[in-house]
A = this chain, B = another copy of it.
Amino acid sequence: MTEETPRKVDMEKIVSLCRRRGFIFPSSEIYGGLSSCWDYGPLGVELKRNVKEAWWRVVVQERDDMVGLDASILMHPQTWEASGHIEGFADPLVECKSCHLRWRTDEIKDNNCPSCGGELTEPRMFNLMFKTFMGPIEEEADVVYLRPETAQGIFVNFQNVVNTTRKKLPFGIAQIGKAFRNEITTGNFIFRSREFEQMEIEFFVKPGTDKEWFDYWLEERLNWYVKLGIRKENLRLRQHGKDELAHYAKECHDIDYLFPMGWSELEGIANRGDFDLVQHANSSGKSLEYFDEKTKEHFVPYIIEPSAGVDRSILAFLCDAYDEELAEGETRVILHLHHSLAPIKVAVLPLSRRDPLVALAKQIHADLRQCWMVQYDDAQSIGRRYRRQDEIGTPFCITVDFQSLEDNQVTIRERDSMNQIRVPVSELKDTLAAKLSGEELFVLPPGGKIWKGGEQGMISPQREK
């Protein structure tokens, strides 16, 4: 967090946009909010769905060597003994003897409370796992934990997956799900919260091939963000020093993103060696070895783990997409979200609220809604409506005007260039499908024409009033 971002975006603008437009609200806001928990509103839930879908598609659907999993949040407590979380997943904490505020020891500069200057207690270890009780009576025997990471649900199912899918090494198991950490210090909006969602891959390889696969996944995962529109200059790889490596890791790199508060971790890629499977095999007494039919060898696979945060990714996509333009004295806020991530793909905007026109607009809306998330907006001037869609990242607006009633054509207006073209209603769906899939960016479709005072044949940026 040393460098400053030179961009127009700052955290306050993102938080405000998210709150105002229904991307993200503080949890239980009418009760004053719940510290560091967030609710995804109507637009946020679609953005989140799209981010998860983009990950699942590339990581599971399009690959031969990956299957999915959805393990439960509550797991057998022995899992966390074997994983080392009960003993090791803890921060040292001190308490002020006067004001009773608690602090992580790395937040303390001298021996006094940073808030009131009071005397501090000796540090004691505080486990970051949320604990709860299963069964009717609260007893130590019934303690279960909310998982602090989704990874362990994959490790304990390794043999189940091998047996039922007959997958051969190298192969991976991918999972998206909630995890919980009772963090002392949270903040930076959805960057660090107590309830969050992970997208984790555990990729099982033969020992000796792990370095090669580690490098493969570094590149693969970096490029996932780039392909979804994150600028290369806002991404970097940072190798963990020996002193900061987790106990299970042979090697670890963070994919950092240049957030408004500085470079911070977006995803961690770790070579976990055989640590996890050996621990669980020892603890459960079950063999977690893999049998290589070709070489007739038994061995414990090594694991490469690309572990991404859904919420952090969303924050990065929002920050990277955010832009402001000065247009005729007004500020145009635009989210240049990748088409596949945009919560609303198309907005249908009738130029009037009168009937033959409204009927046509509604019919187009109903038709497009079969394919995509589509909004219908007939409130205020067309310029205001374009601005509203720009601000939430809608790639295309369809304007239905009086001319449409005569020639059965409508205008498609593109978010980034503000270019407009005119297409027959009968070709609208195919044209949008091609544009949204990225097969073409903004080319005149057959039969379409440019909407510019009746002129034809020109494709050029055109400002709206």
Q: Which A residues fall within an 8 A CB radius of B?
A: 20-22, 25, 27-35, 37-46, 48-49, 56, 61-62, 64, 67-76, 78-79, 93, 102, 126, 130-137, 144, 146, 153, 156-157, 159-161, 164-166, 173, 175, 178, 180, 182, 184, 194-195, 280, 283-284, 286, 288, 365, 369-370, 372-373, 376, 379
B132–A72 CB distance below 8 A? no
| CB-based closest 4 A-B pairs | A22-B164, A28-B76, A42-B67, A31-B76
CB-CB under 8 A from A144, the residues of chain B are: 34
For A73, what are the chain B residues with a Cβ–Cβ distance below 8 Å? 178, 195
Partner of A30, one of B38, B40, B286: B286
Copies in the complex: 2
Question: How far apart sit A20 and B153, CA to CA, in the bound complex (Å)?
Answer: 18
- Known interface pairs A68-B46, A136-B126; A159-B35 also in contact (CB < 8 Å): no
Bound-state Cα–Cα, A416 to B45, Å: 37
Residues of B within 8 A of A195 (CB): 72-74
Supply 7 A–B pairs (Cβ within 8 Å), ascending by A.
A22-B67, A25-B157, A42-B69, A44-B70, A48-B70, A64-B376, A178-B178
Q: Name A73's closest neighbour in chain B (CB-CB).
A: B195
Contact yes or no, B62 A284, CB < 8 A: no
Distance A42 CA – B160 CA, assembled complex (angstroms): 10
Residues A72 and B37 in contact in the complex (CB < 8 Å), given A132-B132, A146-B132: yes
Q: Chain A interface mostly helix, strand, loop or mixed?
A: mixed
List the B side residues contacting A131 at CB < 8 Å. Answer: 132-133
* Contact, CB under 8 Å: A61 / B136: no
Q: Smallest CB-CB separation from A379: which chain B residue? A: B166
In this complex, what residue of B is CB-closest to A29? Answer: B160
- Most B CB within 10 A of own CB, among A136, A137, A379: A136
How many angstroms between the C-alpha atoms of A27 and B75 in the bound complex? Answer: 6
* Interface contact A70-B39, CB-CB below 8 Å: yes
User: Which residue of chain B has the shortest Cβ distance to A46 in the bound complex?
Assistant: B68
- A164 near B27: Cβ-Cβ < 8 Å: no
